[in-house]
Amino acid sequence: MKAFVRLFARDVGLAFRHGGGAGLAIAFFVLAVTLFPLGIGPGPEILARVGAGVVWVAALLATLLSLDRLFQADYEDGSLDLLALTPLPLELTVLAKCAAHWATTGVPLLVAAPILALLLNLDVAGLGALLLAMLLGTPILSIVGAIGAALTVGVRRGGALLSILVLPLYVPVLIFGVAAIDGAISGLGAKPHLLVLGAFLLGALALGPWAAAASLRLNLD
Amino acid sequence: MFAGNGLACVRGERRVFRALDFVVAPGEALVVQGPNGAGKSSLLRLAAGLLKPAAGMLTWNGTPVDADPDAHRARLGYVGHLDAVKPALTARENLAFWTGLAGGSAEVGPALDAMGLAQLADVRAQFLSAGEKRRLNLARLAASAATLWLLDEPTVSLDQASVARFTELARAHLASGGLIMAATHLPLDLPGRALALTAGARAA
């Protein structure tokens, strides 16, 4: 447990140090969302209609942006070998790195999302659902992304391959994330969609670290 | 006693070596020598459990290592040819992270001292030279309680004074009953035996 916390703390610390790139995902997120009003025009009705989808799609892409360094940096400098040899099981190592990734990428997105949603004239009734859906959804993005990152570790220019592998797996999160917000706005309720997202999160937590650890072992061999 | 029996290693459909036997006894260093591509690094990764042997078995005091991989990992001090140093952290932070992860103390001053890094403790690793990073990696061994050291070219890019420091560290480890397996092209002045890998073993 102590080792888990140490690894988590190191990864969070590294993300905020020189060249860590913690600000990258959030900057991309804000920029990508602000491009939409410029691209499709400032009509409040259109923006309100597409707002939920725009925020979610931008969040998926922003998460992808930071995923390729999740294991790659440790692989390149030999740290991954040593991490595989520590008493901490590799599955928990993966989970600690996912948690650190979420804390440095998912949480900033979560904080920025309501502000950006208001900017897009999203109905205020949908804000609570947006927050809850992102709270459940962003950890899934980190964990599922870790599987892709583990599969492509050691691959030159693996970032592009990673996007192609992982984006299709993000589709369910996108669908239910947007549906939750639409449900809250239309008055049908967001609960069923949030429950499905919660189920996805539990599934990802249960399976993701094992899948990612297995792929890392393959790539270390 | 750490031993390998009839080990075979296949890398990318190429047989690196086969039917390889070795024994390392407490207080002894096994120096693995051989030309490039003879499988020195592969043998060390195999001994660490990072690679699975295509055939053969590793044993610790007669018990197969596979029977309890956690115990095997706990006694390992592995120094690969990459230094596992994060440029954004200071030398002290780098070392404290690894010792802490292994359950050791966060006090790494003596270990830094042992490799002559005391003055560089608070310098960001980004500004360390290749030899200094290497010393930082070797300092992990000084800070750990590992009994079996697996060293891949430990003295590469070290100056003479650092080689002497490292030799002293390794001798103290052996004197206290530790084991060392080291792959090297450079002479290592340690008591023990040599294992010669030949590139020809591949063709066999």
Q: Write the residue in A7, A20, A78 that is nearest to B88 by C-beta.
A: A20
State residue A221's pLDDT score: 79
Based on the structure, what is the number of domains in chain A?
1
pLDDT at A28: 93
The list of chain A residues with pLDDT below 70 reads: 18-20
Which two structure tokens, joined as six digits, stand for A51?
Answer: 């707002």
Query: pTM (2 decimals)?
Result: 0.90
The confidence score (pLDDT) of residue A109 equals 94
Instruction: Tell me the CATH number of domain B1-75+147-204, given options 3.40.630.30, 3.20.20.140, 3.40.50.300, 3.30.70.3460.
Output: 3.40.50.300
Determine whether the interchain pair B84/A81 forms a contact, defined as Cβ–Cβ distance below 8 Å.
yes
Q: List residues of B whose CB lies inside 8 A of any A CB.
A: 45, 48-52, 70, 73-74, 76, 78, 80-89, 97-98, 100-103, 124, 126
Between CA A33 and CA A25 the distance in angstroms is: 12
Which chain A residues have a beta carbon less than 8 Å from that of B98?
82
**Tens of pLDDT, residue by residue, chain B (204 residues):** 898 888 888 888 888 888 888 899 898 889 998 888 888 888 999 999 888 888 889 999 888 988 888 888 888 999 988 988 888 888 888 888 888 888 777 688 888 888 888 888 888 888 989 989 999 998 888 888 888 999 998 888 888 888 998 898 999 999 998 899 999 888 888 888 888 887 655 443
The residues spanned by each domain of chain B are: 1-75+147-204, 85-145
Instruction: Give residue A20's pLDDT.
Output: 67
Q: DSSP character for B68?
A: -
Structural domain harbouring A80: 2-220
Scanning every residue of chain B, which has its alpha carbon at the shortest distance from the alpha carbon of A19?
Answer: B88
What pLDDT does residue A156 have? 80
Q: What is the DSSP string of B41-58?
A: HHHHHHHHTSS--SEEEE
Taken in order A205, A146, A216, A79, the sign of the CA dihedral is negative
Q: What is residue B203's predicted lDDT score, i.e. its pLDDT? A: 40
What is the C-alpha separation between B96 and A2, in angstroms, rounded? 13
Closest Cα partner for A83 from A137, A31, A153? A153
According to DSSP, residue B88 is labeled T
